[in-house]
Structure 1
Amino acid sequence: MESSALLLFVLLPLASADTGGLSDKALFFPKATDSSYVTLTPLKPLSLDAFTLCMRLSVDPEVVNQQQRETILFAYRTESHDELNVWQEKGRISFCLRSSSDCAAYSIPMLSVFPTTLCLTWESHTGLAAFWVDGRRSTLQVYRKGHRVQSGGKVILGQDPDSFLGQFNENQSFVGEISDVNMWDSVLTGKQIRHLSEKQSMELTANVLNWSSMQFNIVGNVIVVPEKYF
């Protein structure tokens, strides 16, 4: 009995240890919690005046698509600010730069049980921003012209931190699967984004967040979905 308990004690920390690479894998968040999340380690600091962020998402619609529910899809927070958050909330998908109230919201198709490739482009010089759903672009908006995303924070999947890696809310947690989280420090062309959505082979290596070589850390009830399910 004592040896079994000791073995369990030794193995438990390994479940949340950093691991390299998520190519052909997904992260599955099976239920709403206020404790389960994944942190991602960027290849370079998120000091950005332009970016393209892409993710492949499928959700439990009975939880995530409730009309009044807010669901975090991506969070990047420094010690003092929510620098970049992507949300599905109240029938819309939105993103916020250093704000929880002044966001760019889009009435685009909601996520479902089937995988959707969702990309977001933004540049500071013009303020032009758009979402791309399976390679199709939304209307453009002008948002946060002249702003710059600041470095020194943490990238988090599964929870919205109201403090630095803390103060999570179960009713905002992600429930479903996330894969192919990639980020560039530039705005990709429509052709490039369409190729990504169709998973066509092309030389387009993400230079901020790269799913294939991602260093990540799992906390709580998050399952790495193996290659055989793809």
Structure 2
Amino acid sequence: VGQHIFLCDVGNDDMRQKMFTFSKETNTSFVKLNVARENMTSATICLRIFSDLTRAYSLFSLTTPSSVNEMLIYKKPQSKSMFLVKVGEGVAVFRGQNFQLNKWQSICATWNADSGLVQLWIDEKASSRKFTTSSNLEGNFTVVLGQDQNPADGRPHRSRSFVGMMRDVHMWDYVLSDDNMRSYSQPYTAFPGGNVFTWTSLDFDIIGNKNKGSCFFL
């Protein structure tokens, strides 16, 4: 009951001056991004979050008709600095990333099918590279923010829902250079916007009841 997620201005009408606020645990409300891609051989996903959650939660989930959570960025509960990145059937766990509560932090994940390697960046700190899959991502993509999806029925998982704030969400169909990754991590520094989707012109749907006005609620 009540509002779960909303999009509010934090400045002017440009999307870059807005943020999503995921205000409570839910398995009925989420943000769905509309992605016009059916094949991908590499990817970079970047977003900024602010949260005080200590349990596990999902930040980014990409599904295809044949596979739920084909690509997933997931915060592990065991440690505030442990993350999981899944691509295809491969899973990489990253530790010691210095993730902090109650602070805006940049999180990026890269993957390349040629090598099968993934890498996680938190702010300007890069992880080691780890293998997941060298298979392409294929099919009509569905991207969900702040939730993963249950492989049994494809529905969101309440206990893994993100609670906090999120902004500056981008995706590229290539691996960003280290210099561009560092530029993204520094607010107000120029970097190439995502070519799969970009925050300044994000095509999205908020699933649930929506309020008309400067804020959209569900």
- Mapped pair 1:211 → 2:199: yes
| Runs of at least 5 residues in structure 1 that lack an aligned partner in the other structure | 1-14
User: 1:84 & 1:222 partners in 2: Cα distance?
Assistant: 28
Q: Quick check: 2:48–2:167 contact (8 Å CA) kept in 1?
A: yes
Residue number in structure 2 paired with 1:10: none
- Percent identity, aligned pairs only? 26
C-alpha separation in 1, matches of 2:153 and 2:198:
22
Q: Check whether the contact 2:42–2:111 (CA below 8 A) recurs between aligned residues.
A: yes
Instruction: Kindly provide the CA deviation profile for residues 163-202 of structure 1, in whole angstroms up to 9, marking residues without a partner as x.
Output: 6994222101111111111011111111111111102443
| SS of 2:182 mapped into structure 1 | helix
CA contact (8 A) 1:75 1:86 kept: yes
What count of residue pairs does the alignment treat as equivalent?
Answer: 198
Correspondences of 1:66-81 after superposition (within 5 Å): 66=55, 70-81=56-67
Alignment of 1:68-147 (within 5 A): 70-81=56-67, 82-89=69-76, 90-91=78-79, 92-99=82-89, 102-107=90-95, 108-144=97-133, 146-147=134-135
Displacement of 1:56: 0.3
TM-score between the two structures when normalised by the length of structure 1: 0.77
Letter in 1 for 2:46: C
Shift of 1:49: 0.9
Residues 197, 131 of structure 1: alpha-carbon distance in 2 compared, 3 angstrom cutoff: same
Distance change >3 Å, CA 98–CA 141, structure 1 → 2:
closer
Deviations 1:18-40 (A, max 9, x none): xx973221100011111110101
Q: Which residue of 1 aligns with 2:3?
A: none
CA RMSD of superposed structures (Å)? 2.7
Residue 148 of structure 1 corresponds to 136
Cross-structure match for 2:10: none
Runs of 4+ aligned structure 1 residues displaced above 4 Å come to 163-166
Q: Which runs of 5+ in 2 are unaligned?
A: 1-5, 8-12
Partner secondary structure for residue 195 of structure 1: helix
**Greater relative contact order structure (CA < 8 Å, 6+ sep):** 1
Cα distance per residue 1:67-88 (max 9 Å; x no partner):
xxx3111011123312111100
Give how far 1:222 is off.
8.8
Contact 1:30 1:222 in 2 (8 A): no
> 1:11: which partner in 2?
none
Q: When you count helix as a share of all residues, which structure comes out higher?
A: 1
Q: Which TM-score applies when normalising by structure 2?
A: 0.81
Over alpha carbons, which structure has the higher Rg? 1
